[in-house]
Chains A and B, each alone.
Chain A
């Protein structure tokens, strides 16, 4: 496992978010992620973990606190938002592949449109990425013709094709059939060996144990516990973490 550097990639301080209906999803959540680090966020449903990582690429706004991603201070400035999104890739629970485009076109759409790179060059890279996630032979198919696990691997390749410095995973295996979880986790584990920074919301304990540098527990819109995996799972310092672990282990 590569060791993270000391350079900060994500710095979120006391982030608070309310929905228009008055519900407060984040109550002062803070997190720092260094370059090359793999951070797993766990926590009960409704704890705000998805909302939290969605603020990192401005899919959700927030009302209080500050977030800096790769040196860019997130504000309501639209140019800032576009800049951040170019650096941050996201993998969703529901894959969210574009069903009207072939697998290859799913990968090439954004680099061609956003980075203005020549299509032939992007396609070459896309083939290499599909090779890497093990589905190059499906490049001409449409997402609807693939299994869930294959779709999620395409989604990972699609995010990688933008060459992001940070990858966010929002419960990437939660809507997969059990036998497909492994193929996706393996791809993610290979990624973690590279230099890329990853923040992963997941319930996969094995992945958190063996791949993460740090595991974070969120509850009620706050970061409760933050520790190395070994400590997190064997000797957590908070009662709340112990209760959570009792439920899932």
Chain B
């Protein structure tokens, strides 16, 4: 029986308080906050971060297939799987597909995973609602990843699964639309309720599960209320309903139901039964049974780890700038050139998987890859050396107010890796007041910029934040 072997999550460090949006437009609005991708993040970069969390302790070469589920791919034409597979150091022969446009792609990818393979599912979204609208308030950004497969290390077995194709225009965005459009919410919620009653009740009967036998019910429906209506229609109590994360993250599109599932797994015990229902033009549904193996799962950030640290002081104007929703005075600096495709091609492995070189003669590690060793001058005595996951410290730094940046000042630091090697790079998810010499850092996968329609992905440093005992 197939199931979940491992999970990971990524919620961006930046959170926008909803009242700041409402206040800007002179209205009263809902409480809570939404997770906002930084100016250097998108569905690919967040997806890679979630997958790195998921693959903690797992050999990336063991992955047979990768599914990337998003409706907010940076390209309308050009796949993301090559970028993701390289960033994660998956084997070159990994099978991969990008499942775009459906908000059920994340759960459908989980359904499609084959029991005899190890499938890495990544669901990630970064959607933009039109300013003043409900979608802007409730959408959030984030990503989730599962490694699916079979065997003793499955932490949650997929007892049963199913799909319902139920065509409806509820939420949509055309090739030309910039923002997601939504029909009157009651249409979607009425149809959703009908689909749930007609489908899930027999599904539970088929599996001999009563409502009270389930530990958690994970429901992602249309809008922000339908999930609780569906739960009570099915006879579930309030405490069985998994928190939809609207207050802390928002509706993360393809990642929404999967992210709630990760949340549920973070507190699950062996034997727990978990029901997942995801809506978009019909339903995907899954029944999981948590196994003893969950006790052996290595520590990871997950949803809770990400929620523990945040910058909730960003302004609505920051968000508008980062999303290119307002035009601002350009910096008096040269425009960013489109990166050279041949140069990107030559260095794609080095840049995306952050692999430098280690000199076989003197043993010193460097990034980027060098032909001649700077320590012992040996020529072409290098082997590949990956810096991902290595801890590092700030050697010195600066706050660059002159450099063109969507969030000035640009923090630039000289980063020394604990096991050797140095990089001078931008520091992200860090306030200028925080940075100091000796600070512990780790590398994070980011989109540096888009120029000429090309998104350029690379790594930046971010502070390692220890759990505060608040």
Say whether A and B bind each other: no
Residues of B whose CB lies within 8 Å of any CB of A are none
